[in-house]
Structure 1
Amino acid sequence: MTYLPTFDGPLTPVDTLRETYLPSLRTTLVDATTSETIATLLAPGRRRVNFMNAHCFNVMARNRQYAAAVNSSDFLLPDGIGVALAAKMTCHNLTANLNGTDFIPALLKEAAKMGKSVYLFGGTPGTAIKAADNLIHEIPGLQIAGTRDGFAQAQNDAEIIADINASGADIVLVALGVPMQELWLHRNAPYIDAELTMGVGAALDFFAGNVTRAPAWVRKAKCEWVWRLAQEPRRLAKRYLQGNFSFLARAAKHTAGTLTAASVANRILDIAVSTAALVLLSPIFALTALAIKVESKGPAIFTQTRVGKNGRPFTMIKFRSMVTNAEALRDDVLAQSDREGICFKSKSDPRITRVGRFIRRTSIDELPQILNVLRGQMSIVGPRPALPSEVDVYPKHAFGRLTVKPGITGVWQVSGRADVGFDQMIEMDLAYASSRTILLDLILIGMTFRAVLSGRGAH
């Protein structure tokens, strides 16, 4: 796969592991599910991985050597509520919190199935051995290639590397704490034969039982840091209280610095219009959902992954206008497309229900996307969000339409919708992206009512 270490434009192609760029950070975080990330990390090839929480980013801000080590990693995994909140400042919800204490056991379970072995390095004397014993007990078939503590046995890099390589380990977990473990891996990982090396912080202490995890309900509420603070207030108060505030303040400052009067005005317009529409159209929402449920079995709401601004995937919401197995039947009807180019549209699509034809013609099926607007994933006005499969085959110039948020309505929607060919649609979207103003958005919103009433190109 292609993994971009820095952001320099729309992502091409859209990948299983997505990239998200957090405010005040020049480094790339993995944005993917746990299973997607594990599959990528355990695939053939050499990789160095680190977890990143608010404390890590604070250290990165003041320690240039650590920053260089982090930026040279192959993958950085988001860990903790602070990183998630920073992401939301850019209107982006991270797919998963990939904290090491939960992620590593899941990774090792898959590694065990594949016959891969792991070497544990770090912690106080005896911690790695105890962690190994507990992991073997919990994960059937797990192979521990070797263990080494992070004190007396961590003094000679050459000796450590020789021991790891002699063990034949496929995975090496280094638990020396931040920033020591990242610096150690940055210095020594090129000489280690294992394909996967990871800095895992205090994970071995948790696996060994030296530190007690918070109850499940506390973890679910994303308040495990409060539990940890209560356990070790003297050591962790500065990190969790002052450190988290410092990180979020820096993130907010950076976000504010990227805002323009136009972007603020556009967001205010989005919130005002979508909130008013949600209230005024609530009876239509209820009646539509009821009609869909009466006609056919299945949910009234249909969700689908679409590509948003800068290539970031999101879940788009619509009223269901097709049979429930429409996605499985898509390949069978592609040849019936009435639109030239990549994007599929067909007036005679057999998957569309009777209620579906009505709500498509009146554009009622698009109304739930008001929620996408309130979430910051879409705008009222903008290019229509494309499918990942469509973006994968975009010609190079078409990626320019991903530089702005996708919208519920836009230039091509008021110019004929499905009657407009792909190439013409792209030209319209590129023109909009380069000349977007509040006045233009207001004009397009007004023209949308005429387009809906006429029904032209709606199918």
Structure 2
Amino acid sequence: MTYLTTFDGPVTAVNTLNQTYLPGLRARLVDATTTDTIATLLSPGRRRINFMNAHCFNVMARDRQYAAAVKSANLLLPDGIGVALAAKMTGQALKENLNGTDFIPALLEQAAKNGKSVYLFGGTPGTADTAAQNLIHKIPGLQIAGTRDGYAEAQNEAEVIADINASGADIVLVALGVPMQELWLHRNAPYLDADLTMGVGAALDFFAGNVVRAPAWVRKAKSEWVWRLAMEPRRLAKRYLEGNFSFLARAAKQSMATWTPASVAKRLLDITVALCALVLLSPILLLTALAIKTESKGPALFTQTRVGKDGRPFTMIKFRSMVSDAEALRSSVLEQSDRDGICFKSKSDPRITRVGRFIRRTSIDELPQILNVLRGQMSIVGPRPALPCEVEVYPQRALGRLAVKPGITGVWQVSGRADVSFDQMVEMDLAYASSRSVLLDVILICMTFRAVISGRGAH
């Protein structure tokens, strides 16, 4: 699991430090899939969890008590398109939108399999009871330890705590709304016996059927906020229209504060070169795709997970130069590697097709990575993008390669590619990371043409 954070201290990433600049955030914002996050939340240990959407960040900006409550939580789950867009402003794409309405049923389903019980606290009178009935009907084996509304039954906090503890609940879902639920948990979670406590907003209203969920196609288009605004325009207009704009404006301002003239110049160079290459090389791109499809079955493009800047995984695009089931056959050819060290390369790799050998020698197979550059996942110039399995066994010094975006070309690429050992490649990349500049990038781009023509180390 990867964590995004803005405070100094160790965080879990792909063996390296990972940072984001979401406005005002100091606690940990989880960047992981639903499955991985649930596994973490249900593992041994006590945790207090909050969901964070744009509205939550706006409340943080004006409410110090709420901000303190959020910052003291163990983990924060990203909820909504606003948080995803704010993360993208820093060049980071969150793996999933962990909104409560989808996440909590998945969490409770796994909790039921693990024999854990849940207490529902909050909502109007009757809402928690109806939500409990619906959840039991939907999730076989789910144990509801107890329910309590968020009105008359919530007035005496000592009584609420005693009732929850007497129920023996392993999980407590508190639905008092923002900021009340976070403040309640900040005060009282230490006195609860449950291992997992969560502020869940309007989730119980959805589970009880009090609020109609947007159709699946609306949710898939990441426009559920538009649906909710249409359903409750008076209550939500200010939050969604003015609030979202305010949040994204602050996120953009904070992101821009981290820019430097050098980083702006490099990004402009990347975009300019990538757009020009895409236009000028489009005939070659088309012919290559046709040649690949003609020779062998399978898609012309090949996608693969690689590790980018700060250890963040991304999907790299290349022309397919191997048979379509090459990944499944990789383990059977590892011993044929021509290079010492971690990275696998073999001139006689039997998985490579005839067209593949040509496009590898001429580096045409790398051209679709232009799209990765335009997406901001790669640069024109940078270290070779590493495979996750390679990064897992990196020595400490090699992790320095991940301090900059990977590139289509770079020092290693123009210095012999596969003829260069892993240790030499690491030293080249570290030297580039410490002395990179626009002028150096331009020089390396020019040297790339010579490397492509010579074909040295390309296989």
Both structures adopt the same fold (TM-score exceeding 0.5): yes
Q: Which aligned pairs between 1:173-322 and structure 2 lie closer than 5 A?
A: 173-322=173-322
Q: Which aligned pairs between 1:304-343 and structure 2 lie closer than 5 A?
A: 304-343=304-343
Instruction: Specify every segment of 5 or more residues in structure 2 that has no aligned partner in the other structure, as ranges.
Output: none
Q: Is the 8 A contact 1:48 1:196 kept in 2?
A: yes
Distance 1:446 1:275 in 2: 17
Distance 2:78 2:425 in 1: 37
Distance 2:18 2:130 in 1: 36
Instruction: Specify every segment of 5 or more residues in structure 1 that has no aligned partner in the other structure, as ranges.
Output: none
CA-CA distance at 1:202 after TM superposition: 0.7
Q: Is the 8 A contact 1:58 1:247 kept in 2?
A: yes
Matched pairs, number = 457
State the partner residue of 1:160: 160
Question: 2:34 is matched by which residue type in structure 1?
Answer: T
State the partner residue of 1:347: 347
Q: Is the 8 A contact 2:5 2:18 kept in 1?
A: no
Say whether residues 1:95 and 2:95 are aligned partners: yes
Which of 89-98 and 243-252 deviates more? Answer: 89-98
Task: Report the secondary structure of 2:50's partner residue.
Answer: strand
Deviations 1:70-127 (A, max 9, x none): 2222221111121122122123222221111121112222222333221101111111
Q: Is the 8 A contact 2:341 2:421 kept in 1?
A: yes
Distance 1:442 1:258 in 2: 24
CA-CA distance at 1:220 after TM superposition: 2.5
CA-CA distance at 1:240 after TM superposition: 1.3
Say whether residues 1:133 and 2:144 are aligned partners: no
CA-CA distance at 1:422 after TM superposition: 1.2
State the partner residue of 1:21: 20
Which of 1-10 and 64-73 deviates more? Answer: 1-10
Which of 251-260 and 329-338 deviates more? Answer: 329-338
Task: Report the secondary structure of 1:287's partner residue.
Answer: helix
Distance 2:63 2:384 in 1: 43
State the partner residue of 2:390: 390
Question: 2:40 is matched by which residue type in structure 1?
Answer: T
- How has the CA–CA distance of structure 1 residues 285 and 330 changed in structure 2, closer, same or farther, with 3 Å as cutoff? same
Question: 1:63 is matched by which residue type in structure 2?
Answer: D
Q: Is the 8 A contact 2:4 2:19 kept in 1?
A: no
Question: 1:102 is matched by which residue type in structure 2?
Answer: D
Question: 1:359 is matched by which residue type in structure 2?
Answer: I
Task: Report the secondary structure of 1:66's partner residue.
Answer: helix
- TM score, norm. by length of structure 1: 0.94
State the partner residue of 1:34: 34
- How has the CA–CA distance of structure 1 residues 25 and 385 changed in structure 2, closer, same or farther, with 3 Å as cutoff? farther
State the partner residue of 2:112: 112
CA-CA distance at 1:4 after TM superposition: 7.0
Say whether residues 1:57 and 2:57 are aligned partners: yes
Q: Is the 8 A contact 1:11 1:310 kept in 2?
A: no
Q: Which aligned pairs between 1:437-448 and structure 2 lie closer than 5 A?
A: 437-448=437-448
State the partner residue of 1:143: 143
Distance 1:97 1:54 in 2: 13
CA-CA distance at 1:160 after TM superposition: 2.1
- How has the CA–CA distance of structure 1 residues 97 and 243 changed in structure 2, closer, same or farther, with 3 Å as cutoff? same
Distance 1:437 1:235 in 2: 50
Distance 2:2 2:304 in 1: 24
Say whether residues 1:379 and 2:379 are aligned partners: yes
Q: Which aligned pairs between 1:361-376 and structure 2 lie closer than 5 A?
A: 361-376=361-376
- How has the CA–CA distance of structure 1 residues 245 and 3 changed in structure 2, closer, same or farther, with 3 Å as cutoff? closer
Q: Is the 8 A contact 1:11 1:311 kept in 2?
A: no
Task: Report the secondary structure of 2:290's partner residue.
Answer: helix
CA-CA distance at 1:146 after TM superposition: 0.8
Q: Which aligned pairs between 1:427-442 and structure 2 lie closer than 5 A?
A: 427-442=427-442
Q: Is the 8 A contact 1:134 1:208 kept in 2?
A: yes
Deviations 1:36-82 (A, max 9, x none): 32233223333221110001011112222222222222221111121
- TM score, norm. by length of structure 2: 0.94
CA-CA distance at 1:336 after TM superposition: 2.1
